[in-house]
Structure 1
Amino acid sequence: MEGKVETVTVKNKTKKSGILKSKMYTMLIALVVIWAIFTVTTGGNFLSTRNLSNLLRQMSTTGILAIGMVFVIILGEIDLSVGSMLGLLGGIAAILNVWFNMGAVPTIIITLILGLVLGFWNGFWVAYKKVPSFIVTLAGMLVFRGILIGISKGNTIAPLSESMKVVGQSYFPNVVGYVIAVVTIVISIYLINNSRKKKLKYGLEVAPMRNDIIKVALIGVGVTAVVAILNDYSGFPLPVFIMGIFAIVFSYMASSTVFGRRIYAIGGNKEAAKLSGINVNKQMLMIYAFNGLLAAIAGILLTSRLNAGSVSAGTNAELDAIASCVIGGASLAGGTGSVAGALVGALVMATIDNGMSMLNTQPFWQYIVKGLILLLAVWVDIRSKDKK
């Protein structure tokens, strides 16, 4: 019975993926337009290799949060606590490193474990105690921020040790950047070919081979161009590499594993998923645990990049993560979304912050623009469903 439902899930997911891809392509076009506007208004400085490198480094924090958030949204749930969780975990990392003189490795390990614990905490209340995720994570947002203020006594904790700063501030040598490009292209070929085989297995329509070849070629050109741009400045940033690793892992998890198909099945119809034998509570608990782990990683990267832990770290980060997912095509109703789309959305959000900062625009305009973009993205999602 479960196998039949998973087969239906794959077919439904394939139908939804066409709509999702069209949304993502639209957003990519919009991103190109936004970049063109900022390039003109900044006299070309926006496209400088230094600024593009900084843009991707800044995006890495939101991007990692968005990777975890998109799975929560696919489930049909929400997590409003990741911003405060990021701040708390980043603050704990700074306290361990600065106040207790703990090395980078044990500091990171302890922080990651605490991230899993906090994620399990949210997931336990949502999955097993049936408290709405909005309330659970809203409470978490307040509790985690309060704990951060309490343990830090409201102080900025700095400076970090040199070994700790490496995580958020270091760059790979140029040759390593090109190795990363080659590996990324090989992985892309594998994933595209694997997706093609799965469609054939379930008797679904498969696009002509030339389409996949063009897709691989575009990925190859894009990745090589990005690496060349980054190498022209200081090299491939470690935070961007970490974000890329998690993007690949979670993309594979979503598209090519039973676990991923079950997540989409739960988001599409929770009751049907239960009747098919899927342990919904366990799946939800695991997703929230993954979300906590990714919040810990984002917190470590942000604290390392800023060389300090601060009580204001992560403020409104949950809204940027949610907006990134929705802009990238995820539906707040559940059952739809992708890691690639979430990262495109994260790049849009980071671009707005970066470009408007270069123009010395007052901060309130950034909130207004991002809010309007989020509203437009949700409206487009609703309109597409109405037409369907």
Structure 2
Amino acid sequence: MIEQPQLDKKDRKLPFKFDLQSYTLIISLISIAVIFTVLTGGDFLSSRNISNLFTQMAVIAILAVGMTLVIVAGHIDLSVGSIVGLTGGIAAMLQVWHGWSTPVVVLVALAVGALLGLWQGWWIAYRAVPAFIATLGGMLVFRGILLGLSQGKTVAGLDDSFKQIGNSYLPFALGYIIVAVAIVLIIFFTIRNRKKRAEMGLLLLPASIDYGKAAIYSVVMFLITYMLNRYLGVPIPFLIVVVLALFFIFVTNKTAFGRRVYAIGGNEHAAALSGINIKRNTLGVFVIMGALAGVAGVLLTARLNAGTVSAGDGYELDAIAACVIGGTSLVGGKGRIIGALIGALIMAAIDNGMSMMNIGAYWQYIVKGLILILAVWVDIVSKNK
């Protein structure tokens, strides 16, 4: 019998891997911030502009969270912009024209978004209609329904309680309390995860790496909160993004549903052979996407204080671009929520910075299009390697 070599405790270390894609994203974001800060005389990194930036990115960030799941599962959704417009428009019409209360119209908007996602998911999962075609048709259908229901009119005059969803801020003290709790939780889970891995005999990263990451996350969160509190506080839309992102990070990393979505996108045939219900999980992904588009529709309508027939135009492309820039592969099976959020922030930063410099809107489209092509090319090159 051959004896297996035993590792000394000091050798039981997990080798640190340099995640080039993640660091490239962060470096790109920092570079964009530095360039626009220099070109705008420091105004880009002012507390007021940072607050505006996080508020502006909220809608696309929420869509990017759902789009990440859709693309990871090997599909695409071209209808989310129209769902944003329709759900926000329905909420505005119910409140302005029929006098419904804010909690009720918000719930109706979320339910409508989920039902629209269910309808599209049924065609894709159970009738084998390609997602590109089904959602392209949905984009036209939902935009047409919005035009018909609103009669082409802008619906304005929402209640203050509704407007506050997209335009209010956390009190300064509460913002710091939330960050303090978050820092404590980061440290707690870092310690607990290292302890559990040690008990199970798994390899560990050096303590300096794990605790260094926790320290960096803590410092970044505190600095962001400090900068936002220098203006009016943490914007509620940004807080909603953070809560939804944390929830879906947990779903993708810690639940069976999340693992199934990645398995379906990675190899649908192998996933089916392993017993995964492809149709049901695909349907679930599109229901989630529809519900998140409903959340985005409510936020956009609240921020604009109106439901318009053009609301959400082109948002599906921004959401897809944010995902791809964040490292989500268009062939499925690969993608992270945090990457999509950074991608959404990069897109919003480009729009914001170029607007501050009074650069023509056409340049914003050109730059974002080139960035999208570059991001897809990088993904293809990395796969080939």
Q: Which has more helix, going by share of residues?
A: 1
1:145 is aligned, of 143, 146, 150, to 143
User: With structure 1 as the length reference, what TM-score do the two structures score?
Assistant: 0.92
Gaps of 5+ in 2: 1-13
Sort the Cα spacing of 1:275 and 1:150 in 2 relative to 1 into closer, same or farther, 3 A.
same
Gaps of 5+ in 1: 1-13
1:359 is aligned, of 344, 357, 360, to 357
Q: Does 1:183 align with 2:184?
A: no
The equivalent of 1:69 in structure 2 is: 67
Give me the identity figure in percent. Answer: 53
Q: CA deviation at 1:18?
A: 6.3
Q: Secondary structure at the match of 1:119?
A: helix
CA distance in 1, matches of 2:33, 2:198: 38
Q: How many residues matched?
A: 372
Q: CA deviation at 1:199?
A: 6.8
- Note the alpha carbon deviations across 1:104-148, whole angstroms, 9 max, x for none: 000101111111101111111111111100001100111111111
Q: Give matches, 1:158-237, under 5 Å.
A: 158-189=156-187, 192=190, 205-237=203-235
The equivalent of 1:54 in structure 2 is: 52
The equivalent of 1:32 in structure 2 is: 30
Q: Does 1:90 align with 2:80?
A: no
Q: Secondary structure at the match of 1:315?
A: coil
The equivalent of 1:317 in structure 2 is: 315
The equivalent of 2:265 in structure 1 is: 267
User: With structure 2 as the length reference, what TM-score do the two structures score?
Assistant: 0.93
Q: CA deviation at 1:22?
A: 2.4
CA distance in 2, matches of 1:291, 1:54: 25
CA distance in 1, matches of 2:27, 2:299: 29
- Note the alpha carbon deviations across 1:212-235, whole angstroms, 9 max, x for none: 101110000000000001111001
The equivalent of 1:3 in structure 2 is: none
Check conservation: 2:88, 2:298, Cα contact below 8 A: yes
Q: Which has the larger radius of gyration?
A: 2
CA distance in 1, matches of 2:375, 2:281: 28
Cα-Cα RMSD: 2.0
Check conservation: 2:190, 2:211, Cα contact below 8 A: no
CA distance in 1, matches of 2:157, 2:328: 38
Check conservation: 1:159, 1:308, Cα contact below 8 A: yes
CA distance in 1, matches of 2:98, 2:128: 39
Check conservation: 1:98, 1:157, Cα contact below 8 A: yes
The equivalent of 2:374 in structure 1 is: 376
CA distance in 1, matches of 2:201, 2:259: 17
2:344 is aligned, of 346, 349, 357, to 346
CA distance in 1, matches of 2:103, 2:156: 18
Q: CA deviation at 1:264?
A: 0.9
The equivalent of 1:4 in structure 2 is: none
CA distance in 1, matches of 2:264, 2:226: 41
CA distance in 2, matches of 1:123, 1:161: 34
1:292 is aligned, of 290, 296, 299, to 290
CA distance in 2, matches of 1:197, 1:113: 42
